[in-house]
Structure 1
Amino acid sequence: MACRITELVIDCADPERLASFWSEVLGYVELDRDEETIEIGPAGAGFGGPQPTLVLSLSSDPRRGKLPLHIDVNATDRDQEAELERLLALGARHVDVGQTGAESWYPLADPEGNEFCLLRTRMQPVG
């Protein structure tokens, strides 16, 4: 038997804002919501589909330094530089994680400071 990642849960101060940001970044749609969480994922697939969903969960717990886990993303319909500009326009920002400048990826943060990386390779869209 093996496991599969079905959801990634992100504790955040503003689930609405992060759901909007990550939906635009990933081309996801809202799948479910309750008073404290919003789940987003691929349209027509949802939970259990080929890609994991994101659950943005309301939390007032303070963040404690650099996250031990982050998301990597790859563009599907444009080159890395064009995707970088799109992500920055959506509210991402550059972050310094000790890079040298010779890396093939861009370290970024979402509107609440959660780190993620934009990788160079253009990927085929799923589905």
Structure 2
Amino acid sequence: MACRISELVIDAADPERLAAFWSDVLGYVELEREDDGSIAIGPADAGFGGPQPVLVFGPTSAPRAGKLRLHIDVSATDRDQDAELERLLALGARPADVGQTGTESWHVLADPEGNEFCLLRARIAPV
């Protein structure tokens, strides 16, 4: 038997803001809100334990130190990469430079708190 990624936990200065941003990006909904200020988001029809991982944004006041050692890659499901890039930028993503050459087939972006993520070229089927 193997494991499956069920949750990704992300430290956030403003969990509310990041949960709203990533909900818009992924088409997720709020699943749970904890007393400590953590917010869990995931697919509306599956919730925790479904085929896609839940994202949990936990409050922190600690500053981020350096480049993330893990980042999220996303792929559009219903439009081409250029149209999806426009949508993500309109939601509050911004271009990020992590040393790419400019010839990559993906776009490196940052969420509202500066967490890098990549928009890949390939369109994939929705789950």
TM-score, normalising length from structure 1?
A: 0.98
Per-residue CA distance 1:29-86 (angstroms, 9 max, x = gap) = 0000013100000012011000000001001111010000000000000000000000
Q: Where do residues 42-81 of structure 1 align in structure 2 (5 Å cutoff)?
A: 42-81=43-82
Q: Where do residues 39-118 of structure 1 align in structure 2 (5 Å cutoff)?
A: 39-118=40-119
Give the AA of the match of 2:110: A
Q: Where do residues 13-28 of structure 1 align in structure 2 (5 Å cutoff)?
A: 13-28=13-28
**Deviating runs (4+, > 6 A) in structure 1?**
none
Matched residues, number: 126
SS at match of 1:122: coil
Matched, 1:9 2:9: yes
Cα distance in 2 for partners of 1:88, 1:58 equals 24
Query: What is the RMSD computed on CA atoms of the aligned residues?
Result: 0.6
Cα distance in 1 for partners of 2:66, 2:24 equals 26
Cα distance in 2 for partners of 1:34, 1:65 equals 28
Cα distance in 1 for partners of 2:2, 2:76 equals 28
SS at match of 2:17: helix
SS at match of 2:118: strand
SS at match of 1:84: helix
SS at match of 2:126: coil
Cα distance in 2 for partners of 1:106, 1:72 equals 10
